[in-house]
Amino acid sequence: MVHAALLAGMHKVCFAEPWNEAAMAGMLAMPGSYGFLAAAADRPQGFILCRSAADEAEVLTLLVLPGERRHGLAKALLAEALAKAQSGGAASMFLEVAANNQAALALYTGLGFLQVGRRPRYYGGQTDALILRKALVQPGGAW
Ligand SMILES: CC(C)(COP(=O)(O)OP(=O)(O)OC[C@H]1O[C@@H](n2cnc3c(N)ncnc32)[C@H](O)[C@@H]1OP(=O)(O)O)[C@@H](O)C(=O)NCCC(=O)NCCS
């Protein structure tokens, strides 16, 4: 069982408006939530937290600690989450990303996410949020 305190501590390192332990515990307790932790020799490196409901999945948060970046960890975490969402029956994965987050945007578009919406001045009343979606292929019926 992953502890909310650990994840909140990592979130604090990576986001200007981090989720505290209680908020993280709330996310972990939501129906349909799941996540993956990247760790080396018991040293946590990053994690992804998602939620699936009906045929839609959503990335709630994704981070890799600063000293662990550019080694493919986020890509691997996202690939795991996409596979789980798909095997659970999701037809698409959604996420929100700040319009000025070049690293995350490069990651997501590289994995096939496309912009489907924009929320003006969503972050801190200043920065737009982009809504991205990736279609997940579900096995069709036999013919
Ligand atoms: C965004 C983030 C998760 C990427 O993690 P990472 O483990 O470094 O990413 P990866 O090594 O898997 O990179 C995969 C691809 O993403 C893109 N990418 C990642 N970091 C990048 C950067 N700093 N600049 C440009 N492109 C970047 C590249 O296309 C990269 O592929 P490449 O290495 O073959 O060029 C990490 O920078 C982070 O935690 N940032 C702070 C939190 C955050 O913004 N989370 C996302 C919120 S929506």
Q: What is the CATH number of the domain that holds 19?
A: 3.40.630.30
The residue whose CB lies within 8 Å of the most ligand 1 atoms, and thus the one to mutate among 75, 80, 127, is: 75
pLDDT-derived band at 1, boundaries 50, 70, 90: low
The residue whose CB lies within 8 Å of the most ligand 1 atoms, and thus the one to mutate among 17, 70, 128, is: 70
β-strands 43-53, 56-64 pairing = antiparallel
Average pLDDT over residues 58-80: 98
- Partnered with residue 46 across adjacent β-strands are 38, 64
Q: Which two tokens stand for residue 134?
A: 């990736």
The answer on pLDDT for 142 being more than 90 is no
pLDDT attached to residue 47:
98
The answer on pLDDT for 116 being more than 80 is yes
Please check whether residue 124 lies inside any domain of the structure: yes
Using the mean position of ligand 1's atoms as its centre, give its distance from the Cα of residue 26 in Å.
26
**Structure pTM?**
0.96
Using the mean position of ligand 1's atoms as its centre, give its distance from the Cα of residue 69 in Å.
7
Phi-psi region of 114 (alpha: psi -120 to 50; beta: other; left: phi over 0): beta
Q: Which atom of ligand 1 is nearest to the CA of 59?
A: 48
24-60 per-position pLDDT tens digit: 999 999 999 999 999 999 899 999 999 999 999 999 9
How far apart are the C-alpha atoms of 33 and 30, rounded to whole Å? 6
pLDDT attached to residue 141:
66
Please check whether residue 142 lies inside any domain of the structure: no
Q: Which two tokens stand for residue 59?
A: 């990335």
* Average predicted confidence (pLDDT) for the chain: 95
Q: 36: helix, coil or strand? A: strand
Please check whether residue 140 lies inside any domain of the structure: no
Average pLDDT over residues 109-121: 97
Burial group, residue 137, by CB count within 10 angstroms (0-12, 13-18, 19+): exposed
pLDDT attached to residue 143:
76
Please check whether residue 81 lies inside any domain of the structure: yes
The total number of structural domains that make up the chain = 1
Its domain, for residue 73, covers: 4-135
The alpha carbon of residue 117 and the mean position of all alpha carbons in its chain are separated, in whole angstroms, by: 17
Q: Which two tokens stand for residue 92?
A: 């698409």
Average pLDDT over residues 4-22: 97
Using the mean position of ligand 1's atoms as its centre, give its distance from the Cα of residue 116 in Å.
21
